Amino acid sequence: MATTEPTPPRSAAARVAAPQGGEFPLGRPGGKLQSLRLAFAKLSHDWLPVVVVLLAVVLAWYGAAWGMNAQCAIERVLDEEAGYTHMELFEATMTMERPLVPAPHQVAADFYESLTEWPIDSPRNLIYHVIVTGQSTLLGFAMGTALGLLLSVLIVHSRTLDKALLPWIVASQTVPVLAIAPIVLVVLGSLGFAGTAPKAFIAMYLCFFPVTVAMVQGLRSPQKIETEMMYTYAASRWQSLWLLRLPAALPFLFPALRVGVAAGLVGAMVAELPTGAQAGLGARLLTGSYYGQTTQIWSALVMSALLGLALTGIVAGVERLVLRSRGAK
């Protein structure tokens, strides 16, 4: 019968330095301190760069507001003949009405007033415009993604379509969206399409290109030995697409989707400009420019940036879920 040698006893210092399990349990003071340090380190690693960049942007914004508004403040607010101090000039540039560049706190005040003092269904509420623009963006994003996936599959599986379609797809993006948007809106309007559909079409026009180009590259990414293995198992073309090419293209797809949803938001806002729309973030920008309300323009710009961050964040969250379900870390 085999016997096992007894484990030599560890010293008290060794037991304190490395307790059973290799780590301090969370119930002990050392474990709590270590877990707090790890949480703080992770939080600093994830958010400290964002906070630093945000502070730098706010400081640069204040500097730009002071520099751009100084001359207007001297002409419209201060008495140049009586003289003024630098502090009076700074206060005038930060509080003047209809400044060239509103200060961050002025934009924040307009932002807060719009969200709290008006109902959501009021055109004065930014959420109302976000909903209108978001609908066009999401519809155009879905249409553009579907079109991009279809074109990429056709291009990869047909050399003729590769030669015939890809150059024209690239050439389509050389036309400025500001030039093509009025034409598309007039044509679709004559066919009876109004409201969300024309704006979604412009968003689709900007969305499908990054998806198409990225998916063509992704679908062609499997190595030759992998495609030959599928032929060895007598897999059909669609089986090879579903089991080999599409999984290999996922790392190419999601970055293109993030670019596409942001481009779709730009397209939806641009489509709202030439029609004189009454709703949407583009319409909010247009109304502010008509009446010289620069603070309203900047608050709409900030809201559009937040909407873009939210949409790309949703796509990034879906990416993490899909890759995690496939076993990726």
Rounded to the nearest 10 degrees, what angle do helices 294-325 and 104-116 cross at?
80
Q: Which amino acid belongs to residue 144?
A: G
The residue-averaged pLDDT of 288-301 equals: 86
Residues 217-233: b if buried by 16+ CB within 10 A, e if exposed: ebbeebeeeeeeebeee
Q: Return the pLDDT at 310.
A: 93
Structure tokens at 234: 């007598």
**What is the domain partition of the chain in residue ranges?**
36-100, 115-325
**Average model confidence (pLDDT) across the chain:** 81
Contact in structure between 104 and 64 (CB atoms under 8 Å): no
Contact in structure between 211 and 151 (CB atoms under 8 Å): no
pLDDT score of 73 more than 90: no
How far apart are alpha carbons 66 and 60 in whole angstroms? 10
In tens, the pLDDT along 12-61 reads 444 444 444 444 444 454 567 777 777 777 777 777 888 888 899 989 98
Window from 7-11, 114-118, 177-181, 312-316 with minimum mean pLDDT? 7-11
Q: Return the pLDDT at 1.
A: 46
Structure tokens at 217: 């590259």
In tens, the pLDDT along 138-161 reads 999 999 999 999 999 999 888 888
Q: Return the pLDDT at 328.
A: 58
H runs (alpha helix) in the chain = 12-17, 29-76, 86-95, 104-116, 126-157, 159-172, 177-190, 196-219, 224-232, 237-240, 246-271, 281-290, 294-325
Which of 3.30.360.10, 1.10.3720.10, 3.40.50.2300, 3.10.450.50 is the CATH number of 115-325? 1.10.3720.10
The residue-averaged pLDDT of 70-84 equals: 75
pLDDT score of 221 more than 90: no
| pTM of the predicted structure, to 2 decimals | 0.77
pLDDT score of 118 more than 80: yes
Q: Return the pLDDT at 195.
A: 77
Whole-Å CA distances, 105 to 58, 116, 234: 10, 16, 66
How far apart are alpha carbons 319 and 317 in whole angstroms? 5
How far apart are alpha carbons 59 and 63 in whole angstroms? 6
Q: Return the pLDDT at 144.
A: 93
| Selected residue with higher pLDDT from 104 and 193 | 104
Q: Return the pLDDT at 329.
A: 54
In tens, the pLDDT along 229-273 reads 777 777 777 877 787 788 888 889 999 999 999 999 998 888 888
Q: Return the pLDDT at 56.
A: 92
pLDDT score of 84 more than 60: yes
Q: Return the pLDDT at 143.
A: 94
Structure tokens at 163: 């030669």
Q: Return the pLDDT at 80.
A: 64
Percent of the chain with pLDDT over 70: 87
Q: Given the structure tokens 């024209």, which residue do they identify?
A: 168
pLDDT score of 72 more than 90: no
Q: Which amino acid belongs to residue 291?
A: Y
Q: Which amino acid belongs to residue 22?
A: G
* Residue 198 C-beta-side C-alpha neighbours within 13 Å: 23
In tens, the pLDDT along 295-312 reads 888 999 999 999 999 999
Whole-Å CA distances, 310 to 41, 81, 217, 231: 25, 50, 27, 43
DSSP string, 84-132: --HHHHHHHHHH-SS-SS--HHHHHHHHHHHHHSS-TTSTTSHHHHHHH
Q: Return the pLDDT at 24.
A: 44
Residues 6+ apart with CB under 8 A from 208: 143, 144, 145, 147, 148, 151, 260
Q: Return the pLDDT at 7.
A: 52
